[in-house]
């Protein structure tokens, strides 16, 4: 508990989640847990959480578990924070006129309008995000741009903020976004306390591609590429030239280049550089090792090479990255090679 965090408690904020069948449970549970943990860390009830459904009845989530709603859409008159989660049920509700009317009705009377994961598509379907920044899950990127070209999509960002409208990318990024709201309301110390309580990262830097690309690499249909990926992950300091990768994969350099572009949308050399960068970032965030040593451990041939990669891919120097993101409360939870 944080006592006398700001010498006085702030007014209670009402939070309403939109519920619908086949909602993604994590899109509701993750942000709700952040707010509930904030109440605990602050030592008083700062957020009052409720879930609304069309008729006030139970909501069947994507897991098969049901949530009991607190109120019907018709009974919601206002809220400080309004949350639209995503999930498989989004598709069947994109053209639901009653849901769209509800979202448009509450938008003017809420202070912050939050869309989680594919919930951004529901919000976009109302026109509320037209000419505004937004993001959504990386798997929904093509659909988002096709259906809602008037939205200023920033599809590699973990979360976006444009006026009262906030959007997060996929699933756990709803936690990132909600932590940022707690920080805005009650300060960094409170948000760090919530991160400790939940054993999550206080702030993840970079785009959602840094999380989706390794998962796609591991799930590729090509066993040769999957095995090569695992070899690179296990030994990032090896001299992974294209010729060496081709040899390990039992392929020609030309075929390997073609396969990487088809599977991952990038060249083999770019793939290796990004994986080394990801490892370097973990060291910078979770250790006090010298920059030169981190460059070596991550597979970069020199500190200068690592510096160039950081500037090119993240727009920030390694030292600046450490200053901004190195002070995390859960270093022990990170896996550092």
pLDDT per residue as tens digits for the range 6-29: 445 788 999 999 999 999 999 999
pLDDT band at residue 171, thresholds of 50, 70 and 90?
Answer: confident
283-322 residue pLDDT tens = 887 788 999 999 999 999 999 999 999 999 888 899 988 8
Tokens found for residue 99 = 């849901």
User: Is it the case that residue 146 has pLDDT exceeding 90?
Assistant: yes
pLDDT averaged over the chain? 86
Tokens found for residue 80 = 């400080």
Mean local confidence (pLDDT), 135-147 = 92
Which ranges in the chain belong to alpha helices (H)?
Answer: 25-42, 90-93, 97-106, 119-125, 141-147, 173-186, 188-198, 209-218, 223-234, 242-249, 253-264, 268-286, 291-298, 303-314, 318-325
Cα–Cα distances (Å) from 117 to 168, 169, 335, in that order, read 6, 5, 26
Tokens found for residue 56 = 């006030």
36-73 residue pLDDT tens = 999 999 999 999 999 999 999 999 999 999 999 999 99
Which ranges in 219-316 belong to alpha helices (H)?
Answer: 223-234, 242-249, 253-264, 268-286, 291-298, 303-314
List residues bridging with 110 in a β-sheet.
79
Cα–Cα distances (Å) from 221 to 174, 212, 229, 252, 269, in that order, read 29, 16, 12, 19, 20
Tokens found for residue 264 = 């991952």
Mean local confidence (pLDDT), 114-140 = 95
Tokens found for residue 173 = 């990024």
pLDDT band at residue 204, thresholds of 50, 70 and 90?
Answer: low
User: Is it the case that residue 139 has pLDDT exceeding 90?
Assistant: no
**Domain 209-333: top CATH class:** mainly alpha
Among 121, 127, 87, smallest CA distance to 107 is for 127
Prediction pTM value: 0.64
List residues bridging with 83 in a β-sheet.
17, 114
Which distant-in-sequence residues (6+ apart) come within 8 Å of 251 by Cβ? 224, 259
Predicted local distance difference test score (pLDDT) of residue 2: 53
8 Å CB contact between 50 and 75? no
75-121 residue pLDDT tens = 999 999 999 999 999 999 999 999 999 999 999 999 999 999 999 99
Fold held by 13-198: Rossmann fold (3.40.50)
8 Å CB contact between 162 and 134? yes
Instruction: Domain ranges for the chain, please list them.
Output: 13-198, 209-333
- Residues 231-248 as b/e (b if ≥16 CB within 10 A, e otherwise) read bbeeebeeebebeebbeb
User: Is it the case that residue 257 has pLDDT exceeding 50?
Assistant: yes
């Amino acid at each position: 508990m944080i006592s006398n965090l700001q010498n006085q408690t702030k007014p209670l904020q009402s939070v309403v989640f939109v519920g619908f069948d086949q909602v993604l449970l994590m899109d509701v549970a993750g942000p709700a847990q952040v707010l509930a943990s904030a109440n605990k860390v602050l030592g008083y009830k700062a957020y009052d959480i409720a879930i609304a459904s069309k008729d006030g009845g139970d909501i069947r989530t994507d897991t098969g578990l049901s949530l009991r709603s607190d109120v019907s859409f018709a009974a919601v008159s206002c809220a400080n924070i309004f949350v639209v989660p995503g999930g498989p049920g989004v598709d069947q509700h994109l053209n639901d006129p009653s849901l769209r009317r509800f979202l448009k009705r509450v938008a003017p009377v809420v202070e912050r309008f939050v869309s989680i994961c594919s919930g951004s598509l529901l919000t976009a379907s109302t026109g509320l995000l037209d000419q505004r920044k937004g993001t959504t899950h990386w798997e929904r990127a093509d659909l988002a741009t096709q259906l809602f070209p008037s939205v200023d999509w920033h599809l590699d960002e973990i979360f976006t903020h444009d006026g009262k409208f906030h959007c997060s990318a996929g699933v756990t990024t709803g936690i990132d976004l909600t932590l940022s709201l707690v920080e805005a309301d009650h300060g960094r110390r409170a948000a760090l306390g919530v991160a400790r309580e939940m054993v999550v990262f206080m702030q993840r830097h970079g785009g959602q591609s840094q999380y989706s690309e390794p998962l796609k690499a591991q799930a590729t249909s090509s066993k040769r590429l999957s095995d090569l990926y695992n070899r690179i992950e296990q030994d990032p300091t090896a001299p992974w030239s294209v010729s060496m990768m081709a040899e390990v994969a039992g392929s020609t350099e030309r075929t390997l280049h073609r396969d990487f572009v088809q599977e991952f949308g990038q060249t083999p050399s770019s793939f290796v550089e990004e994986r080394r960068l990801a490892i370097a970032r973990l060291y910078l965030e979770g250790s006090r090792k010298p920059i030169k040593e981190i460059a070596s451990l991550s597979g970069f041939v020199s500190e200068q090479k690592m510096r160039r990669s950081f500037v090119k891919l993240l727009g920030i120097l390694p030292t600046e990255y450490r200053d901004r993101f190195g002070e995390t409360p859960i270093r022990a939870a990170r896996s550092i090679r």
